[in-house]
Amino acid sequence: MMNLLRKKSLAEQVTEKFDLIDPSNKVDLKAVGLAIFNVPDEMESSKSNQYSSMLEEIICSLCSSDRDGNPNHQRVDKLKLCVSLAAEEKPGSNRAELIEKMIRAALGEDSAFVSSEASTEVSQSNEVPPKKRSKYELFSVQHAEAVIEKLGESKQAFVDNFASNIVPEDSELPYKSEGSDLILQGLNKLGRDCVDLFEKAYASELHSAAQYLKACASLQEATNSQSEIDLCLSYARSIIDEKPLNVDLAKTQNAWLGEVANGLEQIKGEIVKKNNAFDLKLNNAMSNKQTELDLALSELKVLQDQTIEPPSEVLARLTGQNETAEKSENPLNFADDQYEQSLDFYLEWMQNQRALIKGKNQKIRELDAALIEIEESLRQVHADEVGQLTAEAQDKQNTIVSTIDVLMKDKGDLDAQLETIKIDAKHHFTEIQTSINNRKLFSAQFENALASASIQLGRILDNGSNLLFLSTITGSETEA
């Protein structure tokens, strides 16, 4: 009971209906042959452990032995006739040669084919042909435009190759009965329904392609903005590092960064100039005072050296005596009145030396104070000027730092936006590809359904067209 309820495979259904086809009806034979030709390579066998494809399963099923175990030559001859008529319809196809090899293999006439040629041919036919590499990058505007162009061409080719009615208008059924016209109308409606289905599919694909183009345009714009932000970030950081890059920002929204960098370079140059001018001005302003100070220090040194000389040498020099004379020539006589006078003279000279040294020290202090005042005054003026320039440079650097923060935030937002746009573009592209695949799959499956329906209709027509000899009823030999 369970075996009776089992759903028959496509190969079993074809085999069951194949025997009902009239071998003399070439139209039906050609239709069945074309249906076998159009079995998709990618359609898997219901018995994948025995057959590599559904086509192989169908051929082997049609070539199977009868109940007595003998080859069903009548069915095989009919199959070969179907293949031959289909090959005439499609002269450029190598399908007939493949099917004939499968027939020979199924009949055991070509055992080598089963192990090598059949597996090779079928596996090659089942292999998905390598995708042609597009000359446009996926998710690019050029690729989206090419997709729209190809879809438009495909739709136009579809529109140009179908008629309003699949049954010619001048076709009439000679046998008039209730519902005979409805059969033709039904066939035409079937054709129009198929056309409507594909037109809706094309319209949906073109709509998705338009959305795909829009997403690709947004993606390209966002990618360009991302590159622009990366360039500006690198340049801004190089300014902070005082090593500006040689890049062109003229076409970016942050071209003003170049002006800021130039401004910083100018300020840096101005500071160098002012430092050099300050050194020169300070040297000139202090030169005279420094000369005077050096002279005072030299004179002070002389006075100090004289003060520490021996009294005898000082007195000899002051009295004009020969300093080189021997001491024994004019020894000092402590009993002589001249000694007392010499002592007074020496003390008076020492007092004078003290006053001179004190005066020199005072002058040196005044000169030091004057030099310090000059330097402080010039340094203050210089510090004010350089400080103003430094403040301007700091403002520009703060502006660049703030710009870097803004660019980093924009980069993060743009990265998130790019991911969203990529998802949208991939979604629309997948919609298009899925619809195209569904059209192809529908066509293949519907052709199989039509083949099955054609066989069933052939059976109906064959049974409905049976001739009845009236003699079996009336006893006469007149044919109906």
Residue of higher predicted confidence among 395 and 282: 395
- What does the mean pLDDT of the chain come to? 79
Instruction: Out of 65-69, 114-118, 288-292, 401-405, give the one with best mean pLDDT.
Output: 401-405
Q: Does the pLDDT of residue 339 top 70, yes or no?
A: no
- Residue 119 falls within a domain, yes or no? yes
Res. 287 pLDDT band, cuts 50 70 90: confident
pLDDT at 174: 65
- Residue 392 falls within a domain, yes or no? yes
Q: Does the pLDDT of residue 479 top 60, yes or no?
A: no
**Tally of structural domains, the chain:** 2
Task: Judge whether 267 and 285 are in contact, CB under 8 Å.
Answer: no
pLDDT at 17: 75
Q: Does the pLDDT of residue 203 top 60, yes or no?
A: yes
Residue of higher predicted confidence among 127 and 243: 243
Q: Does the pLDDT of residue 252 top 50, yes or no?
A: yes
Q: Does the pLDDT of residue 111 top 50, yes or no?
A: no
- Residue 355 falls within a domain, yes or no? yes
Cβ atoms within 10 A of the Cβ of 292, count? 16
- Residue 369 falls within a domain, yes or no? yes
pLDDT at 338: 61
Whether residues 263 and 399 fall in one domain: yes
Of 390, 411, 432, at which residue does a domain stop?
A: 411
The CATH number of whichever domain residue 338 belongs to comes to: 1.10.287
- Residue 353 falls within a domain, yes or no? yes
The closest alpha carbon to 235, from 407, 422, 442, belongs to: 407
- Tell me the pLDDT tens digit for each residue of 132-184: 555 788 889 999 999 999 999 999 988 888 766 777 766 666 666 667 778 88
Residue of higher predicted confidence among 164 and 130: 164
Average pLDDT over residues 64-68: 65
pLDDT at 150: 93
- Residue 450 falls within a domain, yes or no? no
Least confident of 101-105, 207-211, 476-480: 476-480
Task: Judge whether 83 and 100 are in contact, CB under 8 Å.
Answer: yes
Average pLDDT over residues 375-384: 86
Q: Does the pLDDT of residue 125 top 70, yes or no?
A: no
Q: Does the pLDDT of residue 226 top 60, yes or no?
A: yes
pLDDT at 200: 93
- Residue 23 falls within a domain, yes or no? yes
Res. 209 pLDDT band, cuts 50 70 90: very high
Instruction: Out of 18-32, 277-291, 341-355, 431-445, give the one with best mean pLDDT.
Output: 431-445
Res. 69 pLDDT band, cuts 50 70 90: low
Of 411, 438, 453, at which residue does a domain stop?
A: 411
pLDDT at 124: 46
- Residue 300 falls within a domain, yes or no? yes
Task: Judge whether 286 and 265 are in contact, CB under 8 Å.
Answer: no
The residue segments making up the domain with residue 384 are: 256-324+334-411
Res. 122 pLDDT band, cuts 50 70 90: very low
Phi first, then psi, for residue 479 (nearest 5°) are -90, 145
Of 411, 431, 446, at which residue does a domain stop?
A: 411
| Alpha carbon distances (Å) from 246 to 237, 249, 385, 476 | 13, 10, 31, 112
Task: Judge whether 96 and 102 are in contact, CB under 8 Å.
Answer: no
pLDDT at 428: 93
pLDDT at 214: 95
